[in-house]
Amino acid sequence: MRFETVVLDLAGTLVVDDGLVEEGFARAYDRVLPGDPGRAAALEHVRVTMGQSKIEVFRALADEATAQRLNSAFEAAYAELVDEGRCAPIPGAEKALAELRERGLAVVFTTGFGRATADAIVDTLHWQDLADAVLTPADAGRGRPAPDLALTALLRTRTSSVGALVVVGDTESDAGCGVNAGAGLVVGVLTGGRPESALRAAGAHDVIGSVVELPALLDARG
């Protein structure tokens, strides 16, 4: 089947995540719950659930009011890190995205972040013209590993079938989203720090070093 749409995660897949999510959470936690003894366990939970909807991650850690405060504080902290110049593309990512679009493929960015954070990343990198849509859990209904983000991408781009979707990400949650959506190809990338074995166990059909290798993989899979 000819692929039509490529759905790509942002942080860790297209954008370098050298601990930014963890640092943003640590800043947020210290502002909302200073001195809390559960900080270390909370940070470990954030690591384990990387790629999932941030508000859902925070809801697993605290009551609704506190989760909302943590989410707002995280959005603010991550924006600070972006403003500090800590947001950089994976080397070669922009070229790979341009190549996908030149082939006539639709490109959709997805993230577990809220809208403000997603827009800050895309605007900072000047990637507005490289994606047909940028989707957050609020746009889709549920965050990863539920299939909603990938299926919303299919609807937004009028992709003919789930088999024509390619879902790409650096976490088990990304792979799970692709599998649960029935995507024709689910690709894991190693730039987020997750081992190949974990990505394959989560359902990735292929695992590549970085998104730079994606066009060649699609050629091989075509």
What distance in Å separates the CA atoms of residue 90 and residue 66, rounded to the nearest whole number? 33
SS3 205: coil
Has residue 1 got a pLDDT over 60?
A: no
Confidence of residue 36 (pLDDT cuts 50, 70, 90): very high
* Residue pLDDT, tens place only, 147-195: 999 999 999 999 999 999 999 999 999 999 999 999 999 999 999 889 9
Q: Structure pTM?
A: 0.89
Write down the number of H helices and E strands in the chain. 11, 6
* Residue pLDDT, tens place only, 148-157: 999 999 999 9
Give whole-number Cα distances, 174 to 53, 118, 152, 178, 184, in Å: 11, 16, 14, 7, 14
Confidence of residue 107 (pLDDT cuts 50, 70, 90): very high
DSSP state of 35: T
Confidence of residue 50 (pLDDT cuts 50, 70, 90): confident
Single-letter residue type at 61: L
